[in-house]
Structure 1
Amino acid sequence: MAGTSLLNLVSLTLGPFGSIWPASLIWAACGWANQGPNAVIALMLFGLGLWVDLLTGGPLGAWAVVALIAHALTMLTARFSVAMAATPRGAATITGLFFLVAAFILSISSGKGFNVLSILVPILSAVLTYAWVAPWFDLSEEEA
């Protein structure tokens, strides 16, 4: 995930639709949601969010907060809806929606405008590719 975030340094964009690179924080927020509340995971998400902030030149801590909010809301949704976790794409879609809402709330609270189009392509590409990267985020211990 940290390596994929380096792609943000390559300035390929689709104009008003933003970066072509996936919002890979969604992968981590979704993939680690099945672990339940865990301080180590929260610290890792926060660190990855800070890393994205540094790479994108965003306000320090903004993407970290967005990742933590999306992660917490995904865990909460998984507790109340087993159907959400039925497929990796379904779980990533829910996390992507929470990611979008959290980014919107954060941008509004900071007094800056929010361009929905510029975040949609990275969210959609992260959701569509999540099924391939989901096994990397499985932290459960397998029995031998």
Structure 2
Amino acid sequence: MIPNTLQNLIDLQPRVKKRTNEELAIEQLKIVGIDTESEFAIFYRQYMPGSLDSKACADTLCDIAEPTNEILEGTEFIHEMWELPGIYVCFSSLQSEGGFLLNTENGMIWDFDLGQHAAFMAGEIKPRWNGFFEFLEWYLS
């Protein structure tokens, strides 16, 4: 369940779109290795994140299923090209040589910068948010 404070921020979004095919989203969440009951999945099963307007940053959040599975494409890119571990899923555009990463093992979120690749791989870069709902509150505030 989405916390009330976050749901209020979502409800204030002028262009927010509800997901039309939850089963497709669940299928795609499983493909990228995301627990379908996690905070990330709870949101993605209900909403299409590309319709959100952020006051905190210019990065666009990618979708898991509709109109395309941008998250799978971005995640494959960070694994193949940037050689990031398989536990990370990228859920934002990669236009600025970085992006938001979800750790599928613990649900924490990183604001990854390719310029800090070596430090990230050495475990020197800590997550910025403890969970996806915390990230979304920042993103929408």
State the TM-score bracket (shorter-chain normalisation). Answer: under 0.3
Structure with the bigger RCO (C-alpha within 8 Å, sep 6+) is 1
Question: Which structure has more strand as a fraction of its residues?
Answer: 2
TM normalised by structure 2 equals 0.28
More helix by share: 1
